[in-house]
Structure 1
Amino acid sequence: MTATDLNDVAILIPAFNAQAGLERTLASFCEDAPVRVLIVDDGSTPPIAAPVIRGLDIDILRMPVNGGIERALQAGIDALDARGVRYAARIDAGDFATPRRLAKQRAYMEANPRVAALGMWTHVVTPEGAPLFDLTPPTDPAAIRRVMLMRSCFSHPSMMLRVEAVRDAGNYRAQYRAAEDLDLFLRLMERHDCANLPEFGLYYEMNERGISATKRRTQALSTLRLQLRYFRAGNLPDWIGVAKSIAHLVLPYRALRSLKARLFPAGAA
């Protein structure tokens, strides 16, 4: 396999009634080799149709009913493992990938076998594409471990996951609704490293229909439960993280979004 081959990589994208956004997202991938795609249709009505996009070999796994992103991702990982896929590249309908994102991530993970999950920095934009702010979390596994309970260290739709490691860690779970990614990463870090590439790999669409807005209280409660489970009393960032989760429970969504835009202005390094 050459450096540009992506035969062991598959894009994993759950979708629920998001045909148009799904097609735009998949069309954003620009790689130097063909890429497999697994769409997990989470009970859409009408069912998601596989688009025809050059360079992408697209398959659909249909869930019998809408069971939520946690179960859709769990089923997707199981399906990719059964097909012998080594790396699952996450993205969500409505988001956009930067050129050669997958090749860059795969090369890093091949060179760093201890890394089970690899993210990239993220441009956060409006549904119209206007910049809101940038997410540039730590890249080093040690730094990530220190602040993992204080801030979001990974942009979930930017992640590349080592499928075998995810399965060994127990896969995605529905135990922590709307915080299934944090739950998974914390379990992965018990036996592996997780890291970020210090470059932008994703344009993340922030809208008021997304999980961060519509399930904000559920997400904050799940995050707080995880923070308390993994809490380290001697680590100051853990205390700050708990305080932030409480703030998410009491502050309106629009106020939080405005605060993030002031703290992380677009273009900031």
Structure 2
Amino acid sequence: MDQNQNRAVCLIPHYNNPDGVVRSLASFGRDEQVDVLVVDDGSTRAPIDERAARDAFVAQGALRFLHLPQNRGIEHALNSGLSWIESRGYELIARLDCGDTNVPDRIARQVAYLDAHPQVMLLGGAASMVDQSGAEQFVLRHPAAHAEIVRAMRRNSAFIHPAVMFRAAALARTGHYPLNAPAAEDYALFWSFVQHFEVANLPDVIIHYELDPDGISLSKRQRQIKSRLALQWQHKDASPAAWLGMARSAVLLVLPYQLIFKLKSQLRRGKAT
């Protein structure tokens, strides 16, 4: 491990979204002790503006770029980033997606929690779900404790992918993001974490997650739900939660995404009032 590098690094995959990269990098607070690796997945239409990215990043750490020669999908981009990170001996790996933003002390909060709870190997947090103008639509929180998270995983992922931080050492047991769960690679990896280690979620909002109901194509959504169903079947037990989770996924396959988006937003806004 380089003596000048931080303990934590944040992995951000990028594909043709240079403005999103700049917004994400600008959200790291000035006092955050974190390095950042941006993995470009073969962008050609809108490559990263590295000068603008470096100007936006003001945290106490190094910003690095890994340019892949061709576009192979987010799973390959994330795994290329993980291999790069592991080879340099980082202790903690955070995630963020292009366009999503951190609260200014997000990294410090997660590092402090993991230092105080050495048995926890994966830590998530809550997200403020915002529209494309930045207006909050609702707050998404998942269960905080391990046992509740395992039960929630029967229904769907109990972690918000760009809000997680995990220990690099755990990857020796879990492996990298699986390539056989298209559009649900995070759910697959998180199942491996909950099977092998203790996990947790912070109740605090630590990221702002940009919602784009028109940005998810029907084909990608169907692949995601089919992958989720396969993972739910693989990890099923005799509990009602397991079978209800699979039934829910089957129903979602036939409902339009825009309808689900509106219903979720209304229900969660109602809970917040």
TM-score range, shorter chain: over 0.9
Indicate the residue corresponding to 2:261 in structure 1: 257
The structural deviation recorded for 1:28 is 0.8
Asked if 2 retains the 8 angstrom alpha-carbon contact of 1:134 and 1:266, the reply is no
Q: Deviations over 1:156-210 (max 9, x none)?
A: 0001021121243111121101100110010112210121011100110011454
1:214 deviates by 6.0
The alpha carbon displacement at 1:19 in A equals 0.4
The aligned residue for residue 8 of structure 1 is 7
Aligned residues of 2:157 and 2:190 also touching (Cα < 8 A): no
CA spacing shift, 1:196–1:227, aligned 2, 3 Å: same
Counterpart CA distance in 2 for 1:178 and 1:198 is: 26
- Map 1:1-269 to 2 at 5 A: 7-45=6-44, 46-50=46-50, 51-52=53-54, 53-55=57-59, 56-208=61-213, 210=215, 215-233=220-238, 235-265=239-269, 268=272
Amino acid at match of 2:49: A
Q: Once the 2 structures are TM-superposed, how far is the Cα of residue 127 of structure 1 from its aligned partner?
A: 1.1
| Sequence identity percentage | 40
The verdict on how the C-alpha distance between 1:185 and 1:75 changes in structure 2, with shifts beyond 3 A counting, is same
Q: Compute the TM-score of the two structures, normalised by the length of structure 2.
A: 0.91
Following TM superposition, by how much is the alpha carbon of 1:259 offset from its aligned partner in structure 2, in angstroms?
1.2
Aligned length: 264
Question: Distance between the aligned counterparts of 1:222 and 1:214, measured in 2?
Answer: 12
Q: What amino acid maps onto 2:114 in structure 1?
A: M
CA distance in 2 between counterparts of 1:147 and 1:212 reads: 26
Q: Which has the higher helix share?
A: 2
**Structure 1 runs of 4+ with >3 Å offset:** 208-214
For the 8 Å contact 1:14–1:42, the answer to whether it is kept is: yes
- Aligned-pair distance for 1:268? 2.0
Return the alpha-carbon distance in structure 2 between the equivalents of residues 169 and 177 of structure 1: 18
Q: Give SS of 1:250's match.
A: coil
Residue type of the partner of 1:162? R
Q: 3-state DSSP class of the match of 2:85?
A: helix
Q: Which amino acid aligns with 1:217?
A: Q
Distance 1:214 1:116, change over 3 A: farther
5+ long unaligned stretches in structure 2? none
How does the TM-score come out when normalised to structure 1?
0.92
Shift of 1:34: 3.9
Residues 248 and 31 (structure 1 numbering): CA distance in 2 closer, same or farther, change over 3 Å?
farther
Relative to 1, partners in 2 of residues 1:209 and 1:161: Cα closer, same or farther, differing over 3 Å? farther
Unaligned runs of 5+ in 1: none
In structure 1, distance between residues paired with 2:271 and 2:78? 31
- Take 1:18 and 1:174, find their aligned partners in 2: how far apart are those partners? 23
